[in-house]
Structure 1
Amino acid sequence: MAGFDDVTKKAQEFLKSDKVQDALKGEKAEEISDKILGGVADVANKVTGGKHADKIEGARDAADKKIGDQ
């Protein structure tokens, strides 16, 4: 599994790079992430019949705070 560990380590280093972090904080990232997170939340609510809407919304909000500029 050394090959997988190497790839994982390199991916983690890449994701921590300044360029990637800057891209995740931009207006375009915010726009795209809002669409994706909203879509995922909608699907999750449909699958669960809305029984966990509060938890799903909380998870969406937490993820949204990590991506974009708002």
Structure 2
Amino acid sequence: MGIDDLVNKGKDFLEQNKDQISDILKSDKAEGVSDTVLGAGADFVKKLAPDEHDATIDDVRANIDKSIGNE
């Protein structure tokens, strides 16, 4: 099985389960996990990047968070 076969199987799986995946991404559990992961990621990047980029990092985090969870 080649990489193209794996990619196509992944695409098929996503297409067949898109409603369930959407429901999971909008769940309370996804909200909690995303808040934790995004918060940790943003804090890590803030430690590496100059302070003048903190607002941009917070904006990116907020925009990603809008797409995951239910808040």
TM-score after normalising by structure 1:
0.81
Which residue is 1:35 aligned to?
36
TM-score after normalising by structure 2:
0.80
In 2, the alpha carbon distance for the partners of 1:15 and 1:62 equals 23
- Compare 60-69 and 48-57 and name the one that shifted more: 48-57
The residue type equivalent to 1:43 in the other structure is F
Instruction: Give the ranges of 4+ consecutive aligned residues of structure 1 lying more than 2 Å apart after TM superposition.
Output: 3-16
Which residue is 1:52 aligned to?
53
> Structure 1 residues 35 and 66 mapped into 2: Cα distance closer, same or farther (>3 Å)?
same
Aligned residues: 69
Which residue is 2:3 aligned to?
4
Q: Which runs of 5+ in 1 are unaligned?
A: none
> Structure 1 residues 10 and 65 mapped into 2: Cα distance closer, same or farther (>3 Å)?
farther
Give the drift of 1:15: 4.0
- Compare 35-44 and 6-15 and name the one that shifted more: 6-15
> What are the superposed Cα offsets for residues 8-38 of structure 1, whole Å, 9 maximum, x if unpaired?
3433444451111100000110011000000
Percent sequence identity is: 40
Which residue is 2:21 aligned to?
20
Structure with the greater alpha carbon radius of gyration = 2
Give the drift of 1:58: 0.9
